[in-house]
Amino acid sequence: MLPAEDLLSLVVAAFAFAPGLAIGSFLNVVVARVPLHRSIVSPGSACMNCGHELAWYDNVPLVSWLVLRGRCRSCSASIAARYPAVELGTALLVAGCFLKFGITGAAFVAAFFCITLVAVSGRTSSITSFRTASSCRRPCSCSLPTPRCT
């Protein structure tokens, strides 16, 4: 049997998991739209392949991707596993912060920094992917190093 304090920490972490999933979903929107200079508020989420706007039940973090087996309901295009991975990773980090620190200011600060790191790593990897793909077609003149094609 777990001590009451440990049980309370587990309950708090479980309750922190759901908002962590939602925050991870929002981070996916930010990482996908900001580099394209698109609004993060509207329009709603849509399939990147066919443009079909997602209904609320197709936009539930982690669950929808599993139910749809990683495919668009409309055109059956594949949805990258990166999206649920970011949602799950963010949720686990946030829940872990509350598991470690309980409901304290330290938990909120740690969760904020974890969320920030997820956002920065997603933003950095999307820039790197874009630069790597575009560097073969034309050289980039910015200061970041780009891989050379042979």
pLDDT in tens, 50-77: 989 999 998 899 999 999 999 999 999 9
Given a cut of 50, the residues of the chain with pLDDT beneath it are 126-150
Question: Does the predicted TM-score (pTM) go above 0.85?
Answer: no
Tell me how far CA of residue 73 lies from CA of 2, 43, 47, 51, in angstroms. Answer: 43, 19, 9, 11
Rounded to whole angstroms, how far apart are CA atoms 82 and 79? 8
CA distance 83 to 27: 9
* Per-residue model confidence (pLDDT) at position 144: 41
* Element containing residue 78 per DSSP (H, E): none
**C-alpha neighbours within 13 Å on the C-beta side of residue 80:** 10
Q: Given this model, what pLDDT does residue 48 score?
A: 85
